[in-house]
């Protein structure tokens, strides 16, 4: 009988450990696939655990067993951590985490990113300084979930609309998410373009630029600046961009020219002058003028 009772105790002990898991996932490179499979939201916490006092405080005092017990019902939980002391972390994980910091444009810590089960990033910010307890963080998290619910509603609205109204609906959706991976949304860019070929929404240029940017990004990775410039020139030639969009595109072309292996200062000035001419009263105009004057010295 004693052995039987001992076996039952071991079973209960193991079950409790499995049920009360308090570990973060530490590899978020496949987060979209994992949250899709789990049908849960994804929470990514970016920290510097051995150098940042705020990160240390949150990890030890806020992200407790109670936090994991409550949050894990709705989220897969990832801690994207970087350490100065490289002995504290396997080199492969550290390298992946540096890449994720860059991918999600994390400049300060502790930072939180939230993603729905479809992989749409709907929130990204430095965690507010007044979050100091598990309870306050869970309340904060519950409010942020409302943003995720809004994303779901906006997606439903896309399916319920047609023609230029569909283009507008897609644009509203894009206004509420962070475009970390533009290629993921290529089909939506195309749908926005096809739904409003006559540009009744006034948004056609934005969609064509977004689709072109996917091609340009690949060319930039190959350091093929000449073809990247040509892709943007093709869009300008369509005559569908707003003055501000055209200005930004000429500025990008000027920047790519400076990054080429043989930058031509006269060409850079020419492109900046085209940018200025496109929208001479824009918010960027003064800075563009200063750049032109500096280059002409």
Q: Using CA atoms, how far apart are residues 111 and 121, in angstroms rounded to an integer?
A: 14
Q: Which residue has the higher pLDDT, 7 or 152?
A: 152
pLDDT of 55 higher than 70: yes
* Range in 3-7, 43-47, 87-91, 238-242 with the lowest mean pLDDT: 3-7
Kindly indicate the confidence band of residue 262, based on its pLDDT and cuts at 50, 70 and 90.
confident
pLDDT per residue as tens digits for the range 101-151:
999 999 999 999 999 999 999 999 999 999 999 999 999 999 999 999 999
Q: Residue 11 above 70 pLDDT?
A: no
Q: What is the pLDDT of residue 245?
A: 98
Check if the beta carbon of residue 257 is closer than 8 Å to that of residue 271: yes
* Cβ-based neighbours of 252, under 8 Å, separated by 6 or more: 232
Task: Identify which of 111, 112, 80 has the alpha carbon closest to the alpha carbon of residue 94.
Answer: 80
Integer angstrom CA distances of residue 50 from 45, 53, 81, 88, 274: 15, 8, 9, 9, 49
CATH 1.25.40.10 for the 163-296 domain, yes or no: yes
Please state the φ and ψ torsions of residue 292, each to the nearest 5 degrees: -65, -45
Average pLDDT, the chain: 92
Model confidence at 263, pLDDT cuts 50, 70, 90, reads confident
pTM confidence score: 0.87
pLDDT at position 47: 98
Q: Which two tokens stand for residue 24?
A: 């973060």
Domains 21-152 and 163-296 share a fold: no
Domain extents in the chain: 21-152, 163-296
Q: Indicate whether 280 pLDDT > 80.
A: yes
Q: What is the mean pLDDT of residues 5-26?
A: 50
Rounded average pLDDT over 159-169: 98
Q: What is the dihedral of CA 92, 96, 98, 103, to 10 degrees?
A: 170
Give the model's pLDDT for residue 4.
45
Q: Is pLDDT of 7 > 70?
A: no
Q: Could you tell me the pLDDT band of residue 260, with boundaries at 50, 70 and 90?
A: confident
Lowest mean pLDDT among 84-88, 121-125, 165-169, 254-258: 84-88
Q: Is the pLDDT of residue 12 over 60?
A: no
pLDDT surpasses 70 at 21: no
Structure confidence at residue 257 as a pLDDT band (50, 70, 90): very high
Q: Which CATH number fits the domain 21-152, given the four candidates 3.40.50.300, 3.30.1330.60, 3.40.30.10, 3.10.20.600?
A: 3.40.30.10
CB 196 within 8 A of CB 203: yes
For 149, 197, 214, 215, 253, the CA distances from 258, given in Å and listed in that order, are 43, 34, 21, 20, 9
Beta strands in the chain (DSSP E): 41-47, 75-81, 111-115, 121-126
pLDDT higher than 50, residue 13: no
Q: What pLDDT does residue 249 have?
A: 98
Confidence of residue 178 (pLDDT cuts 50, 70, 90): very high
């Amino acid at each position: 009988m004693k052995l039987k009772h001992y076996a039952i105790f071991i079973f209960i002990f193991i079950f409790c450990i499995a049920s009360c898991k308090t570990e973060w996932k530490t590899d978020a490179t496949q987060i979209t696939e994992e949250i899709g499979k789990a049908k849960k939201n994804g929470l990514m916490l970016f920290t510097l655990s051995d150098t940042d006092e705020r990160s240390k405080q949150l990890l030890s005092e806020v992200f407790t067993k109670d936090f994991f017990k409550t949050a894990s019902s709705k989220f897969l939980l990832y801690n994207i951590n970087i350490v100065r002391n490289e002995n504290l972390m396997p080199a492969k994980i550290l390298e992946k985490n540096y890449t994720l910091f860059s991918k999600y444009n994390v400049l300060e810590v502790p930072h939180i990113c939230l993603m729905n089960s479809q992989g749409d990033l709907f929130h990204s910010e430095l965690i507010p300084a007044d979050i100091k307890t598990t309870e306050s963080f869970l309340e904060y998290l519950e409010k942020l979930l409302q943003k995720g619910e809004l994303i779901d509603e906006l997606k439903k609205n896309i399916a319920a609309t047609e023609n230029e109204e569909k283009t507008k609906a897609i644009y509203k959706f894009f206004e509420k998410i962070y475009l970390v991976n533009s290629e993921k949304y290529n089909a939506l860019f195309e749908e926005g373009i096809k739904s409003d070929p006559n540009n009744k929404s006034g948004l056609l240029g934005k969609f064509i630029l977004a689709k072109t940017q996917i091609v340009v990004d690949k060319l930039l990775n190959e350091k093929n600046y000449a073809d990247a410039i040509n892709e943007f020139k093709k869009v300008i030639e369509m005559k569908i961009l707003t003055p501000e969009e055209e200005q930004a595109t000429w500025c990008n072309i000027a920047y790519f020219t400076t990054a080429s292996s043989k930058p031509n200062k006269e060409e850079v000035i020419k492109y900046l002058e085209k940018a200025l001419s496109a929208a001479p009263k824009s918010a960027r105009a003064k800075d563009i003028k200063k750049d032109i004057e500096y280059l002409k010295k």
